[in-house]
Chain A
Amino acid sequence: MIPAAFDYVRANTLDEALNLLAQNEEAKILAGGHSLIPAMKLRLTQPSLLVDLGRIKDLSYIREENGQIRIGAMTTHYQIESSDLLQNVCPLLPECASHIGDMQVRNKGTIGGSLAHSDPAGDWPAAIIALNAELVAISKSGERTIAANNFFVDLLTTALEPGEILREIRVNKTNGRTGHAYVKMPHPASGFAVVGVAANLSFNGGRECKAASIGVTGVSSKAYRASAVETALTGAELNDSTIDSAAAHATDGIDINGDVFASDEFRRHLAAVYTRRAIAAASERAK
């Protein structure tokens, strides 16, 4: 449990961090460290330099701007979980945060660190996909915005280019008749999602689903959007039977992971069950 030798720099500004990243291909960003440090202790990863973003003040915030919610990448899970603003305008985020690790982890780990790590069983990716979030990446050559659905590329791989830092997460405020939910079966040892499903639904009148956005984590090598479920829900009158048949598409076209805790066959089943539960809960909350 002793990592290989590495250098450490506490960056004071984003520019300083970007410069260090540009100068050192083997550098890694430290953004809470709850995945990176354990991996380093097991020598699964051996970065030569850690660039700590922890003291950069303007990376930790939750605010409303131009009708959007903007969350700094270094905002901790706990700050999101306890945000009154988010509770009012985007309750899926606090709900998702409450499922992450334990109190100690939530006080230290950050949303940006978690997203950029792209753990296939992390909680945030499901919620971020369901909210159609935009992720703002910054490098020395400027900023660009990446849609959540395009951000997660593969196991522990994101659309971030070398030299880029995830700076901000943007989500739209919910308005109209909407309902959110994040439900999860945690692995009994790690607490990570065996299956985690985030649902973001909006309704016309009555129970007719106007739009549905479903993010799924834990099932495959990366979090994904359950498009077939969304299609089945959109325009449908939501009841037990329509929800059930829509949820059955949770893993359409997806390569499913299996392990000693849950085989791929069982995970396929769980994905459908938890998708149904997420939709039912979101639908109930929209009433």
Chain B
Amino acid sequence: MAKYIGKRIKRTEDPRLIKGLAHYVDDIDLPGTLHVAFVRSMYAHARITGIDTAEAMKAPGVVAVYTGKDIATKIGPVPCAAALPDLKVPDYRVLATDKVLFVGHPIAAVVATDKYTARDAVEYLYPGVYLEELPAVVHVIDGVPTSPVIHEHFGDNIAYKLTSGEGDIDAAMKAADRIVTQKMIHQRLAPIAMEPRGVLARYFPGEEELTVWSSTQIPHLLRTQLALMIGIPENKLRVITPEVGGGFGSKLNVYAEEALLGWISMQLGKPVKWIESRRENMQATIHGRAQVGTVEVGVKNDGTITGLRYNVVADLGAYHQLLTPAIPTLTGLMLSGAYKIPAIQMNVTGVFTNKMSTDAYRGAGRPEATYVVERVMDVIARELNLDPVEVRRKNFPKASEFPFHTATGLDYDSGNYDGALDKALDLSGYQKLREEQKKARDNGKLIGIGLSSYVEICALGPSQAMPAGGWESATVRIEPTGKVTILTGTSPHGQGQETSFAQIAADELGVDLNDVTVIHGDTGVVQYGIGTFGSRATAVGGTAVLIAIQKLKEKAAKIAAHMMQCDASRLSFEAGCYTREEAAAAAATGKSEPVVPVGEAPGGALNEVPTPTNGRTKLTIQEIALAAHIAKEIPPDTEPGLSATYFFEPKNFTFPFGTHICVVEIDKDTGETKIIKYVAVDDCGKVINPLLVDGQVHGGIVQSIGQALYEEVIYDDQGQLVTGELMDYAVPKAAQIPWFETDRTETPSPVNPLGVKGVGEAGTIGATPAIVNAVVDALAPYGVKHLDMPMRPEKIWKIIHA
């Protein structure tokens, strides 16, 4: 059956992208569009003492200026979907009203006839914005800042405190021979999708219909939230996500600008557009990571872990975006890593700071957990003088122990951690690498080998564990001409599901891949869906496609049986054809079935309409689709048409895993790190399209290299954003990336019938600790046990030249 699944099929999305023929939000031109630009705070924390819009309003081409006071009561707050006990949720207005709380905080929106005039009007408005600067809360490295209080009515800067985990942690620590402790900083990162955010909104006053084009990962959830914020009936609001140039979680959100643009279009009765600049993207699109924590691990002298405690302060920024406070809870879930740890406790304190909100960035809380666990495994190995491989293997659950329950409350679905580790060791020539490292050290060279055996949680997720539904939907239709249309509730923005879902459908239906079209990201066309994030699209959305097809085939078989005048149980389906079995068997044995002449009804069936297909013993599913639409020869109790919809609710998450091995060389003179070898063995269950999986792994490792070596969102002591441009914030470029050797093991997931697990975030989860472990290993001769990211040359140079 598998003509397409498992094959390296090139993305069908790519030709239009490569040729520049795709349509992003900014490529959509509607006549009469007005353009919006924002006046944003240049201070991290300030009181707004007055806004005088007169000068800006005088400028030719300026249509309207809106300030927070104008609209405070007209548009609902930016929503937070995270529900945690005693969570403090600030009132997050779409434009600042009394205070500005971060650099980039929108203060006013200017609407003008073109984008140049709008941008100029921002300059005219600036002098009319009166701000009284206040001291800012910026750093959380030394704990929770107590003064000033950002949201005064809360009394302090703590958004929430939460303890999670299972097992008797105190007993577990007592049972240990020693406690290994390490403080670690996960620096703030910027997701940097290649396409920044952008919104186009068009209101038809007569029809009372609003259409919002937005570069988002969650069109349906956005529609629901925008309807509530703006106060328009949800069935009068259509959200369209045209081509989306990357998200990495940063577009898994509901932003002030999206609501504001919709509302402005309703006020003015005209289309309005805003395209985020890169500077705005750095300032006012969510950031990721930003945790400072201390991990304590109880270990026996043979390396067996007895318990793990992680005390962490999460820098949440000034407000909660959609999932801000929930991200650190994902860290808590994954603190068992790939290991049997009898007791685990996380104590997290979420803290408000005068910075942009943190939220989901590729991995979303899990890279932090994996980093903590994989980093501390190396610290343990060092303290016990064991090979890092040995410590890991000692604590792995064996393949026979799955499903495996963790002390973080999860049930890992399937795994073979030794298998992936063995393959990575083999592929990298680990023993030989260690020998070469020793030789190099003797020659005064700094070579480091780092590994990371990760587990991640994917296929988010069962609805019980999700803030707003964790299922996914699919509709599959076969059109009268036999073309197959799939409507998926996921919202691919680079993942390639137009290709991989077509592979699933083409195999299951036995049709040509080119006959399948996958439609997504338009709430006016597609049934409600959840969206693309959390490495869920194929495991949850792909399964919905598969089951919808199976439903459709039940109906098709019924029609086929009717048309071929047999019982459905006598039909076989192969390569897109229904065949009457005894006909095939009879043909094989040389006997023939009695054939009913065309136009002549068999005796006793006088009411049956004679049809041209009478007598046929083989029909393609595409022929059946036509018959189902013409509806002349379908069974009397059957609905015309051929489509099926399915909403798939997964029973569990999936847990992909793997081992990455990185080898670095450090330039002693300059402190520069060079990756000289990178091996990744990932297990994401069954693979639909290996090319797509490779791409996900490559991209993820690149972003990990970014975090490990280069990237950091830096705010200075006044809360000014120092890394406000791509000239300062170093996203790795092709020339900074080594060759990757990638391979896989395949342990199918029992959670879904496809056996897939998800791979979207594996790279950013698995790779970062491997790279940092390699750098720390290289610096072992200097007694280095830990070093915080990013591994800037100066940091390393200071160690070497201390």
Q: Chain A: residues with CB nearer than 8 A to chain B?
A: 1-2, 4-5, 42-43, 102, 185, 187-190, 260-263, 266, 269-270, 273
Contact = CB atoms under 8 A, between A and B. Distances in A.
A260 B729 contact: no
B736 A188 contact: yes
A4 B121 CA distance: 11
Given A1-B277, A5-B120, A189-B731, 10 more contacts: A42-B725, A102-B733, A102-B735, A185-B670, A188-B710, A190-B727, A260-B722, A263-B794, A266-B797, A273-B669
Give the size category of B's interface with A: 20 to 34
Interface in B258-301: 277-279
Interface in B626-683: 669-670, 672
B670 A270 contact: yes
Contacts of A187: 730
A219 to B, nearest CB: 14
Interface string B767-802: 000000000000000000000000011100100010
Contacts of A261: 792, 794
B747 to A, nearest CB: 37
Contact of B119 (A2, A190, A262, A270): A2
Contact of B714 (A185, A260, A273): A260
B115 interface: yes
A1 B725 CA distance: 11
Contact of A269 (B731, B792, B797): B797
B728 A189 contact: yes
B116 interface: yes
A1 B797 contact: no
A102 B722 CA distance: 24
Nearest to B115: A2
Nearest to B797: A266
B709 interface: yes
Interface in B712-739: 714, 722-723, 725-733, 735-736
B714 A189 contact: no
Nearest to B727: A190
Contacts of A273: 669-670
Contacts of B736: 188
Contacts of B120: 4-5
A269 B794 CA distance: 10
A266 B796 CA distance: 11
A102 B733 CA distance: 10
A47 to B, nearest CB: 15
Nearest to A46: B123
Contacts of B794: 261-263, 266
Contacts of A1: 277-279
A73 B512 CA distance: 58
Nearest to A258: B794
Interface in B724-768: 725-733, 735-736
A189 to B, nearest CB: 4
Given A262-B793, A273-B670, A188 B730 contact: yes
Contacts of A262: 793-794
Nearest to B732: A188
Contacts of A188: 709-710, 730, 732, 736
Nearest to B119: A2
Contacts of B723: 260
B672 A185 contact: yes
A123 B709 CA distance: 24
A42 B279 contact: yes
A141 B318 CA distance: 59
A43 B123 CA distance: 10
B794 to A, nearest CB: 4
Nearest to B798: A266
B389 to A, nearest CB: 31
A210 B670 CA distance: 29
6 contacts: A1-B279, A2-B115, A4-B120, A189-B730, A189-B731, A273-B670
A251 to B, nearest CB: 15
Query: Which 3 A/B pairs are nearest by Cβ-Cβ distance?
Result: A189-B730, A188-B730, A2-B119
B670 A5 contact: no
Contacts of A189: 710, 726-731
Contacts of A270: 670
Interface string B112-140: 00011001100100000000000000000
Nearest to B792: A261
Contacts of B278: 1
Most A Cβ at <10 Å: residue of B119, B123, B726: B119
A185 B792 CA distance: 12
A273 to B, nearest CB: 5
A266 B794 CA distance: 6
Nearest to A269: B797
A101 to B, nearest CB: 11
A5 B114 CA distance: 13
Contacts of B730: 187-189
A263 to B, nearest CB: 6
A260 B669 CA distance: 19
B675 to A, nearest CB: 13
B790 to A, nearest CB: 9
A261 B115 CA distance: 35
Contacts of B733: 102
A1 B281 CA distance: 11
B89 to A, nearest CB: 33
Nearest to B794: A266
A176 to B, nearest CB: 31
Contacts of A5: 116, 120
Contacts of A190: 727-728
A2 B279 CA distance: 11
Name which of B123, B736, B797 has the most chain A CB atoms within 10 A of its CB.
B797
B186 to A, nearest CB: 18
Contacts of B669: 273
Contacts of A2: 115-116, 119, 277
Contacts of A185: 670, 672, 793
Nearest to B731: A189
Nearest to B118: A2
B147 to A, nearest CB: 26
A188 B116 CA distance: 32
Contacts of B672: 185
A127 B729 CA distance: 27
B40 to A, nearest CB: 14
Scoring A2, A102, A190, A261 by chain B CB atoms within 10 A of each residue's CB, the highest score goes to: A2
Nearest to A191: B733
Nearest to B729: A189
A179 to B, nearest CB: 21
A102 B736 CA distance: 12
A264 to B, nearest CB: 11
A260 B722 CA distance: 9
A260 B714 CA distance: 9
Contacts of A263: 794
A118 to B, nearest CB: 17
A88 B209 CA distance: 69
Contacts of B801: 269
Contacts of B277: 1-2
